Structure 1
Amino acid sequence: MATFVLVHGSGHGGWCWRRVVPLLTAAGHRVLTPTLTGLGDRAHLLSRSTDLDLHIADVVSVLEHERIHDAVLVGHSYGGMVVTGAADRVGHRVAHLVYLDAAIPRDGESVVDLVPHAVSSLKAGVRVVDGVELVGFPDDGPPPALGLSDPEDVAWVGSMLTPHPWATMVAPIRLTGGAAVEAIPRTVLLTPAHPGIAEDRLASARSAGRFHETGLPHDMMVTHPAETAKVLLDAVPR
């Protein structure tokens, strides 16, 4: 049995894995779906101190307090920043890293550095609420980039999305683990509009043998839970 820790992307929450969790538990695995501070059901905890480091601490805390030492640590989209930081801090608790259409940062890089064009459109919509800069207001429903087409999916996700703290997008990640983090086995799955992966890292991911390019949409855990679960189950250490 493995322990999956599924970390969502910007504007989402632990709720987005709802259709994937039963498929993983049915295969005999434990699954945790933490919601990052200031988002989803923890939106009431949003403050000026909500940044990338706090989100990394959220996941580190889960790994430590749940006494996990065999985590299949999964990051979707922005969650790639978070799981990379968590693995850097408590790599001994991580057996495998999975990047689902996710940012894969190096030390000193931010989301803005990795996907400047995508983030620039978000920056144009920054609003200040209670002293916190927020982006991604779901006023007009889910953004097209999520790849949702089914009306029920659009309605569900649109009702659940929350604005995302801008500070997490501009904060550079600080990594100190070096080769130890790079040595953690990893799976990378990219959709046609994959974010945050430079060509040299694509080459490295391909050579690692656990690299998948897929036609699935960005929010694959919503639209294609079975296919998503298969990728995750294939990442379980043998």
Structure 2
Amino acid sequence: MTAFVLVSGPFTDGRIWQEVADRLRESGAEVHPATLTGMGDRRDLAGPGTNLETHIEDLVRLIDRVDSGQVVIVGHDYGIHPVLGAADRRPDRVSRIVHLDAGLVLDGESVLDLLPDPAVRDRLVRGAEDGWRIVPPSLDDWPSLGSTEGVPADSLARLAEGAAPQPLGTFTQPLRLSGAVSGIPTSGILCTANGLSIAMVETVVRMGDPRFQPLTDPRVGFFELATGHWPMLSCPEELAGVLLRAAAGEGHRLTVAERQPEEHRRFLLDLPERPRERVEHVDLYLPDADGPRPAVVFVHGGPVPAEMRPRPRDWASFVGYGRYAAELGVVGVTLDHRLRDVGCYEQSAEDLAAAVELIRADPRVDAERVALWFFSAGGLLSADWLAAPPSWLRCVAATYAMLAPMPAWGLGESRFRPVAALPSAGGLPIVLTRVELDIPEIAATAEEFLTAAKDCGADVEVIDVPLGHHGFETTDHTEEARAAVEHAMRSVLGHLRG
């Protein structure tokens, strides 16, 4: 018999699993929904010293009481931290770990370390009740923890009503692992309405970040649920079915093709070689022209691992865009910024601002005629410029760009939300290039952006690439793709020169 140990996210307790547990038991499984110290009917047991170690010990004791030889332990959201800690101490008892819409946590990382928005981190610590309890969100603020799509209103109300303060130490204490947990088979259940999908995982793995390479292990299987962050409330029957399949070792295995070496990639337009001038973290492609010329700054996406070589400004796509701009008589600018993970947007924004200041101070650049062109996850960096467009910013362009943060990224309260900034853009021209075969979660942000543009009357031109993929400039050498790049560049240059 399989025994499931179910561990929920912050502020919640074992009651959240009731419907899932009922369905699992109907299938013949043994089920143990965990209520950790300080949660639910155990809230009075918490104190200032309650921390992650307390919750790990809770689960170790629970595992030790389970008679079944096969224990599948499920961690949702915060719950994956104590789950990994307990499994690391009982690797001989745990047959599988299931990450339920939960991140990848490494040795030495705390919950706060993985929250990307420093303002949220600071507010949680400074606002802790009595200095050690994090107050649960109100009913209206509950979506800040993750998408509530699919959760019935009465269930969401009960969730908020039954929430207990989370001991601060469970968020601040780092997870310590011996390494034993790495030998346990793993499953990931991704909730697509919360911004996680197999396609996005494969994209991240393809970038070559060594932190994510273990996800290609054949013992790791993935599933998707078309729902928000709380599937135990929004689709309990489907979740129970997926958990049974995970316990049986099923799931999608990542078959990520190795990233094609940059030296083998080719920009979709044939352009002559052109020298570039490297200044700090910026490259300039200069046109054959006298006097100051307008400039287009091309902003890459990511996250891009710190050790990845070559860096984005040396990728064929950005070299191609830089050369193309210079060929058409304007200064093409590329840069490397520090988008190494989703917690690095502030550093990336600083790098972009510094690059813009540097090129506008260059006498070969017309400082009053600059366009910013954003790609992929770099699209979130456009929010600052849409929120308060300077007079010299003549156009913003975005290509297969993320224009609202993924709910799972924890940036919902940050300033990096182009959709929210759009009403402040006024008459700033925006050129948006969409690809038909984009990652669905990213494509959805473009549709949200266009809806917001319609509501506020923003000036957005849309260019579509039929059958185009994310990063199509070096993969889809079709006439339609070439025409789309040419069209987008003509539009941007028209706004620069107009």
TM-score normalised by L of structure 2: 0.44
Per the alignment, residue 238 of structure 2 pairs with: 227
Q: Which has the higher contact order (CA 8 A, sep 6+)?
A: 1
Q: Cα deviation per residue 1:91-141 (whole Å; 9 max; x = unaligned)?
A: 111011101011331111111222332x74264155444x44222423345
Shift of residue 190, structure 1, vs aligned partner: 2.0
Residues 183/33 of structure 1: CA separation in 2 closer, same or farther (3 Å cut): same
Displacement of 1:68 in angstroms is 4.6
- Aligned 1:1-238 pairs, distance under 5 A: 1-117=1-117, 120-121=119-120, 123-125=122-124, 126-129=126-129, 131-141=130-140, 143-144=142-143, 145-148=146-149, 149-176=151-178, 178=179, 180-191=180-191, 192-194=194-196, 200=209, 201-208=211-218, 209-237=220-248
Tell me how far apart the structure 2 counterparts of residues 164 and 78 of structure 1 sit (CA, whole Å).
11
What's the secondary structure of 2:247's corresponding residue?
Answer: coil
In the TM superposition, residue 214 of structure 1 has moved relative to its aligned partner by 3.7
Sequence identity, in percent?
A: 34
Contact 1:70 1:95 in 2 (8 A): yes
* Ranges in structure 1 where 5+ consecutive residues have no aligned partner: none
Opposite residue 205 of structure 1, the aligned amino acid is L
CA apart distance, 1:82 = 0.9
Q: Which residue of 1 aligns with 2:382?
A: none
SS in 1 for 2:132: strand
User: What is the alpha-carbon distance in structure 1 between the residues aligned to residue 190 and residue 241 of structure 2?
Assistant: 15
> Structure 1 stretch 16-25 or stretch 161-170: which is displaced more?
161-170
Q: CA deviation at 1:8?
A: 1.0
Q: Is the 8 A contact 1:95 1:237 kept in 2?
A: no
Return 5+ residue gaps in structure 2 as ranges. Answer: 250-498
Report if aligned partners of 1:8, 1:79 keep a CA contact under 8 Å in 2: yes
Deviation, structure 1 residue 9 = 1.0
Give secondary structure in 2 for the equivalent of 1:189: strand
Q: Contact 2:75–2:83 at 8 Å: present in 1 too? A: yes
The alpha-carbon distance between structure 1 residues 193 and 237, as it changes in their structure 2 partners (threshold 3 A), is same
Contact 2:136 2:165 in 1 (8 A): yes
The Cα shift of 1:183 comes to: 1.7
1:105 alignment partner AA = V
> Which amino acid in the other structure matches residue 14 of structure 1?
G
Tell me which amino acid in the other structure corresponds to 1:218. Answer: H
Q: Do the aligned partners of residues 24 and 219 (structure 1) sit closer, same or farther apart at CA in structure 2, a change above 3 Å counting?
A: same
**Cα distance, 1:185–1:72 mapped onto 2, change above 3 Å:** same
**Using a 3 Å threshold, how does the CA distance of structure 1 residues 169 and 193 change in structure 2: closer, same or farther?**
farther
Shift of 1:27: 0.5
Gap change, CA 1:132 and 1:35, over 3 Å in 2: farther
Tell me the SS of whatever aligns to 2:241: helix
- In structure 1, the residue matched to 2:470 is none
User: Contact 2:134/2:166 (CA < 8 Å) preserved in 1?
Assistant: yes
Partner Cα distance (2:123, 2:83) in 1: 27
Aligned length: 232
Q: TM-score, normalised by structure 1?
A: 0.88
Give the residue type in structure 2 aligned to 1:167: G
Q: CA deviation at 1:153?
A: 1.6
The superposition leaves residues 143-191 of structure 1 with CA deviations (integer Å, 9 ceiling, x where unpaired) of 1124155221222111111121121111111111x1x321211101122
Q: Is the 8 A contact 2:76 2:99 kept in 1?
A: yes
- Report the aligned-residue RMSD: 2.3
Distance 1:24 1:140, change over 3 A: closer
For residues 68 and 132 of structure 1, what CA distance do their matches in structure 2 show? 40
Tell me if structure 2 keeps the 8 A contact 1:11–1:39.
yes
SS, match of residue 96 in structure 1: strand
Q: 1:142 to 1:233 in 2, by over 3 A?
A: farther
Q: What's the offset of the Cα at 1:41?
A: 1.4
> Structure 1 residues 103, 53: CA separation in 2 closer, same or farther (over 3 Å shift)?
farther
Match of 2:434 in 1: none
The structure-2 alpha-carbon separation of the partners of 1:90 and 1:113, relative to structure 1 and needing over 3 Å to count, comes to: same
Evaluate the alpha carbon distance shift between residue 205 and residue 214 of structure 1 in structure 2; reply closer, same or farther with a 3 A threshold: farther
Checking the alignment, whether the CA contact within 8 Å between 1:188 and 1:205 is kept in structure 2 is no
